[in-house]
Amino acid sequence: MDNVEVDLHRDRAIGVTDPRLFGAFIEHLGRCVYGGIFEPGHPSADAHGFRGDVLALVRELAPTIMRYPGGNFVSGYDWEDGVGPAASRPRRLDLAWLSTETNQFGTNEFIDWCRLADTEPMLAVNLGTRGADAARRLVEYCNHPGGTTLSDLRRAHGWKLPHGVKFWCLGNEMDGPWQMEAKTAQEYGRIATEAAKMMKWVDPAIELAACGSSGRNMPTFGAWEDTVLEHTFDQVEFISLHTYINNYAGDTAAFLASPDLMDRFIDEIVAIADAVAIRRGSSKRIMLSFDEWNVWYRTRRTPAARTKPGWPVAPEILEEIYNMEDALVFGGACISLLNHADRVKAGCLAQLVNVIAPIMTETGGPTWRQTIFHPFSHFSNLGRGRVLRARIKSPTYSASYFDPRGAQDLSFPLPEVPYLKLAAVHDEGAGALTLFALNRSLTEEMPLRVNAGGFSGLVVDQALQLHDTDLKAVNTKDHPDRVKPSALAGVRVEGNTLTATLLPASWNVIRVMVS
Ligand code: AHR
């Protein structure tokens, strides 16, 4: 491949990453909670039943905010079922995942777990089968200090101090027909506005995300955001967006190109949100909460992959096994998020454990890192700071990404996909510049040259790559480290120029100290 050139400058920044960009998601779904983060009786479990081995990996992964309790689950959830003495909590049918919910883990346990995992809680309220009243009551239960029936109930349950939950989601994917009590944009816009208003009356310090489209392939995409924001504009800080990338077509080149559609999705939502602001003559800017994103397809389309018969408790569903190429695409998605640091101010990898997750467990057994664990951990641990605008001169290829929409299948043409996808983050405090670089060529090494304008004294601090000659390689219980980062040799600096050679189909992280 010809030389690939990147020009960036210390003074040209896109924006500063918000700490909430590096979040993840825990849903009452399959073995994410039960057998995942919570398993009383497991050899590593503490007195609460929280698995210590999982917590250790979560700390290494370093998610900064955690969304809970769903997902589709939240649209049928009565939060009252999950608080109070565990022995008297009800067992319920969960219509989202056709399972039995035992409610042995609920809001208070989640808050305790977040404190241990050093992550901020993000709660979603049920705007499917419930509404504004249940939502404002949950805010009162969680955040009001005391002296009212609901806040004193929390205190009686053992949590004297308010939880102080700041970030709240107004429902989940309310545009999706699969959602319990799905709504039109008009219906949802009205309910979300009323819920938001009352929730903020209870606690004016909270921040709210309205549901955007559950995918760019939704037939209502665009019109949905426009209508919902017309209703909720004055009440919310965020609009959400969700993306699950697939390789149904078995076309690895197109799969690797597809994070570019996330860039497009973000730009489109920013345009719609800003158009709403402009129509209203408002200088307020709605930020984006990318609160579900990942690769997900193998355990997705057929009901048999999503549910198990007989209303089981914590069934093994959506246990996607991630391979090497998934990790590359996942890394591409991390780069897309970083490169929109000015507007995407929250993000949640969906999900955290067992269910389309970077961390796997065996119930009663060990835990291990899936391939996608590695790019996320790099993204979260090294991606904090000022994201610089990089001008990339790279050869390109063309691809067509296949994205199913119900019975109708869509193809999105991607005519000019640069082989290099890259984000550059300057951490001023640490005096470091980190490059996240994906070589999307399946066959050719990439000679990379980065001109880092405005920086001097470059010293290579870390250089890692994730690469495997077998793109289908996976990590398993018996081979947990089949795919793991290795040193990237041959990174050189001279003046403010850095050169490296990136292997075909590789994810690379290069951190240089700068002055
Ligand atoms: O993350 C799995 C599911 O995907 C979530 O419950 C839902 O919001 C989305 O459709």
Tens of pLDDT, residues 85-103: 999 999 999 999 999 999 9
Q: Give the pLDDT confidence score for residue 302 in this predicted structure.
A: 84
Nearest CA to ligand 1 atom 7: 71
Give the phi and the psi of residue 390 in degrees, each rounded to 5.
-105, 130
Q: Is the CB of 294 under 6 A from ligand 1?
A: no
Query: What mean pLDDT comes out for the span 199-206?
Result: 98
Three-state DSSP state, 163: coil
Pocket test for ligand 1, best of 95, 101, 242 (most atoms within 8 A of CB): 242
Query: What mean pLDDT comes out for the span 488-500?
Result: 97
Mean pLDDT across the chain, nearest whole number?
97
Q: Give the pLDDT confidence score for residue 410 in this predicted structure.
A: 82
Q: Give the pLDDT confidence score for residue 406 in this predicted structure.
A: 62
Nearest CA to ligand 1 atom 1: 350
Tens of pLDDT, residues 182-196: 999 999 999 999 999
Dihedral (C-alpha) 213, 139, 59, 489: value to the nearest 10 degrees? 30
% of residues, the chain, pLDDT over 90 = 97
Give the whole-angstrom CA distance, residue 488 versus residue 275.
45
pLDDT tier for residue 305 given thresholds of 50, 70 and 90: confident
DSSP calls for 328-353: HHHHHHHHHHHTTTTTEEEEEES-SB
Query: What mean pLDDT comes out for the span 433-446?
Result: 98
Tens of pLDDT, residues 18-27: 999 999 999 9
Pocket test for ligand 1, best of 72, 240, 293 (most atoms within 8 A of CB): 72
Tens of pLDDT, residues 341-353: 999 999 999 999 9
The structure tokens 């042995």 sit at 104
Q: Is the CB of 291 under 6 A from ligand 1?
A: no
Query: What mean pLDDT comes out for the span 418-430?
Result: 98
User: Cα(498) to centroid of ligand 1, in Å?
Assistant: 41
Report all structural domains of the chain as residue ranges with CATH numbers, in order of start: 18-241+263-294+347-384 (3.20.20.80)
Instruction: Sort 269 into a burial class: Cβ within 10 Å, 0-12 / 13-18 / 19+.
Output: buried
Catalytic annotation present for 292 = yes
Give the whole-angstrom CA distance, residue 245 versus residue 356.
12
User: Cα(72) to centroid of ligand 1, in Å?
Assistant: 6
Residue 498 has pLDDT above 70, yes or no: yes
Residue 321 has pLDDT above 70, yes or no: yes
pTM: 0.97
DSSP calls for 267-328: HHHHHHHHHHHHHTT-----EEEEEEEEE--TTTSSHHHH--TT--BS---S-PPPBHHHHH
pLDDT tier for residue 408 given thresholds of 50, 70 and 90: low
Q: How far is CA 101 from the centre of its chain?
A: 24
Going by C-beta distance under 8 Å and a sequence separation of 6 or more, which residues neighbour residue 136? 195, 198, 199, 201, 202
Query: What mean pLDDT comes out for the span 293-311?
Result: 92
List 173, 225, 237, 325, catalytic entry: 173
DSSP calls for 381-400: HH--SEEE--EEE--EEEEE
pLDDT tier for residue 61 given thresholds of 50, 70 and 90: very high
DSSP 87: G
User: Cα(248) to centroid of ligand 1, in Å?
Assistant: 18
